[in-house]
Structure 1
Amino acid sequence: MDSLITAAARALAAGDPLGALKRVALREDAPALALRGIAMAQLGDFTRAKALLKSAARAFGPKEAVARARCVVAEAEIALVSRDLGWPERALETARVTLDIHGDSVNAAHARNLQVRRLALIGRLDEAERALAGFDPALLPPLVRAGHALIVAGIAIRRLQTKVARAALAQAHEVAREAGIPALTAEVESALLALTMPAARLIVRNEERALLLDEVEALLASGALVIDACRHVVRAGEKAVSLATRPVLFTLARTLAEAWPGDASREALLATAFRARHADESHRARLRVEIGRLRAELRDVAEVRATARGFALVPVGSREVCVLAPPAEGQHGAVLALLADGEAWASSALAIALGASARTVQRALDALCTAGKVLPIGQGRARRWMTPPVPGFPTVLLLPGPLPSD
């Protein structure tokens, strides 16, 4: 490898893409094309970066398996950053194995980090943890170690393990300072914000206040009966009853919880669950049926008792009853939660992350666009959607992935 290629590679490793381009911008050989592609990716021109990396992979000969694998890893990173979650996973795994076999442990570890980041992004936390099991990045460069610590912190945040997350982010911050790469430091500082911003609203006894992430963790561990409107789950200590696929039952449970320790009138329940302005006997009959179903679902954690004017929620044992609600509610909250990271998402990537159909996601995006909450960028298959992060609007509790008691 000649001196210009070496100098350009060192510049990229130090987070200086312009310094790298000064050395290889006019060259068309395979190593230069690869370095130019990585530099353009660091500058944010992902389209040009992907084209350069594809050209580099074609230019490398069949005997240069390691160089071709490095191009695949770089392309996979661009796909992840640009939220192209449909990018083939097998290609990245093949590249990782190739790098591992040929002794390129640094890039193999980087490929592993990319695989785990994708799994965490779409909520497959158990698979992400299995992929990290037994992997020790201690002897690897600071960039890889910082990436590993950020992944550990991200998974811990999704699982509401705030102590683990703080320790991992502190380690990532220390490693980022050691690396001296401004972009990496900024990424770590951005991740730290998730621990200092309000994560949810607590509604109890007609009072409401904001909770930080560690306060949410303490609430779920307290044994209180929590109607979790972020995940549509009713929680009581180690017990959790998912009502994610039963929206009417969850609405009834939340209405009863907000009225606790009193009762909720039949009119209020009909208005919130069925949106019935003028209830008739058919509405009342349906309410009785749905209340019966709710009793059956909550039998291990609470009773639903009839009162003179409606129904009351009575928790099993001397539990407090509270509602854990998102800080900003409305339609399509899960889509907004993913877009709040500031990245430009494809509708197909949103569908993968949310486990929803592409048509459902597209309808949500169209509605949000009409309301001025999201903006489309590009046309056709290149179209992406994004929104500037809303101050105080967290995403952790709305993102895909189970919480500890799920």
Structure 2
Amino acid sequence: MDSLINAAGRALAAGDPLGALKRVALRDDAPALALRGIAMAQLGDFAKAKALLKDAARAFSPKEAVARARCVVAEAEIALVSRDLGWPEKALRAARATLQSHGDRLNAAYAGSLEARRLILIGRLDEAERLLADFDPAPLPPVARVAHELAAAGIAVRRLRTKAARSAFGRASLAAYEANIPALKTEVEAASLVLNTPVGRLIARGAEKALLLDEVEALLGSGALVIDACRNVVREADAVVSLATRPVLFALARALAEAWPTDASRELLLKRAFRARHADESHRARLRVEMGRLRAELAGLAEINATSAGFELAPLKAAEVVVLAPPVEEEHGAVLAFLTDGEAWSSSALAIALGASARTVQRALEQLSGEDKVQAVGRGRARRWMMPPVTGFPTVLLLPGPLPTD
């Protein structure tokens, strides 16, 4: 490489995209195109960055496999930042394999961390964890260590391993300060806020309390019977009963838990489960049927007894019954949960992350837009959705992926 290419590369490594562009802005050779693409990505012009990197990959000769693979990794990073989750992961895996086979351990490790962070976003935590386990981040440069530790922290947060998450964020912070790149420091600081922000609400005995991540972890390990409204499951220590596909049963379980240790009236249960304003005998008959089904689902955890006024929940072993609810509850809370990361998402990327149909997500976004809770930027296929971060509404407990004991 010539001196200008080397100088531009050093400027980009130091987080100075304008300094890099001063050196290669007028050049159209393959290395310059690649560096220009990375610079435009650092400046936030992702569309231009992707176009330049594609041109660079085509400009490199077939013998320059490592250079081509690096362009693919850079494209993948732009796709991750711009929440283009439909970007072909096979291309990234192939690029990582190429880099490994040619001894470029640094960029191979960085490609692995990018792949892991994408897997985390779509809830494939086991795959992400296995991927990160293959790398020792200690010998890596600071920027690559930050990417690795943020991925490790993301897994720990979603698995409610608060101590491990705090350690990973600490290592990421040290690496970011060692790199001395302001944008990197800001990214780590913003990501670590989840440890000190309420991520759930405890509802018990008629009172509510905001919970931090470590408090949620302690609650789930306390032995209490937890009606988890973040995942629509009932938990007690290692025992988990999923009611995610049984919304009526979960609504009944939550109503019984919120009334505990007293009973819940039939009128309340009918309203919560069936939204029945004026209950008739058919509603009451259906309530008895659904209570029988709920009783069967919770057979190993609790009994459901009929009372003169309604029904009561009687745990078999647990001393307490509590409800774990999201910080904010509304109809399209899962969509809002993803958008609170401050990034611009496409509707297709949200559909992939949520495991929902594209049309379902589009309808939710249109409704939220009509309520001025989200805003669209761009048109057609370039349209992206975003919202400013909402205090007290982090995404952790609403994001896909299993919690401990799942």
TM-score, reference length from structure 2: 0.99
**Which runs of 4 or more aligned residues in structure 1 lie more than 3 Å from their structure 2 counterparts after TM superposition?**
none
1:115: how far off?
A: 0.6
Corresponding residue of 2:262: 262
2:153 maps to amino acid: A
Post-superposition CA distance 1:326-363 (Å, at most 9, x none): 11101011111011101000111111111111111111
SS of the residue 2:394 aligns to: coil
The alignment status of 1:2 with 2:2, answered yes or no, reads yes
1:364 maps onto 2:328 in alignment: no
Q: Aligned partners of 1:244, 1:56: CA distance in 2, in Å? A: 47
Go from structure 1 to structure 2 and tell me whether the alpha carbon gap of 1:318 and 1:349 turns closer, same or farther (over 3 Å shift): closer
Q: CA deviation at 1:84?
A: 0.5
What does the per-residue CA deviation read over 1:130-153, in whole Å, with 9 as the maximum and x for residues that have no partner? 111231121111111111111111
d(CA) in 2 for partners of 1:339, 1:318 = 37
Q: Specify the alignment match of 1:381 in structure 2.
A: 381
The equivalent residue for 2:229 is 229
How many residues are treated as equivalent by the alignment? 406
User: Which secondary structure does the structure 2 equivalent of 1:203 belong to?
Assistant: strand
Q: Secondary structure at the match of 1:222?
A: coil
Deviation at 1:283, TM superposition (A): 0.6
Q: Give, in whole Å, the separation in 2 of the partners of 1:247 and 1:154.
A: 29
- Show structure 1 runs of 5+ residues with no match: none
The corresponding residue for 1:209 is 209
State the AA in 2 paired with 1:322. Answer: V
* Greater mean alpha carbon deviation, residues 181-190 or residues 1-10: 181-190
* Deviation for aligned residue 1:289: 0.6
Query: Do the aligned residues in 1 keep the contact of 2:223 with 2:318 (CA within 8 Å)?
Result: no
| Amino acid across the alignment from 2:349 | A
Task: Deviation per CA, 1:10-57: give whole Å up to 9, x if none.
Answer: 110111111101111111111111000000000100000001111111
Matches for 1:3-402 after TM superposition, within 5 Å: 3-402=3-402
Q: SS of 1:323's equivalent?
A: strand
Distance 1:187 1:365 in 2: 26
Structure 2 counterpart SS, 1:400: coil
Amino acid at match of 1:110: Y
CA distance in 1, matches of 2:249, 2:321: 17
Q: 1:141, 1:84 → 2: CA distance? A: 27
Q: Equivalents in 1 of 2:226, 2:2: separation in Å?
A: 63
Choose 128-137 or 164-173, whichever is displaced more.
Answer: 128-137
Alpha-carbon distance between aligned partners in 2 of 1:4 and 1:221, rounded to the nearest angstrom: 57
Distance in 2 separating the partners of 1:379 and 1:351: 18
Cα distance between partner residues in 1 of 2:137 and 2:172: 12
Aligned equivalents of 2:258 and 2:209: distance in 1? 14
2:134 and 2:50 map into 1 onto residues whose CA distance is: 32
Identity among equivalent pairs (%)? 75
3-state SS in 1 of match to 2:376 = strand
Unaligned runs of 5+ in 2: none
What is the SS of the residue equivalent to 1:258? Answer: helix
Partner amino acid for 2:229? A
Q: Which amino acid aligns with 2:343?
A: E
1:318 shift after superposition: 4.3
Q: Cα offset for 1:64?
A: 1.0
> TM-score, length-normalised on structure 1?
0.99
CA distance in 2, matches of 1:375, 1:273: 33
User: What is the alpha-carbon distance in structure 2 between the residues aligned to residue 355 and residue 318 of structure 1?
Assistant: 34
Q: Contact (CA 8 Å) 2:225, 2:318: kept in 1 or not?
A: no
Structure 2 Cα separation of the partners of residues 16 and 233 of structure 1: 48
Q: In the aligned structure 2, how far is the partner of 1:302 from the partner of 1:13?
A: 58
Matched to 1:351, the amino acid is A
How far does residue 281 in structure 1 lie from its aligned partner after superposition? 0.8
**How many angstroms apart in 1 are the aligned matches of 2:199 and 2:89?**
32
Amino acid at match of 1:384: R
CA distance in 2, matches of 1:254, 1:206: 13
8 Å CA contact 2:69, 2:96 repeated in 1: yes
1:207-234 superposed Cα distances (whole Å, 9 cap, x missing partner): 0110111000000000000101011110
C-alpha deviations, 1:273-325, integer Å up to 9, x for none?
10000111111111111000000001111111000010001111242001111
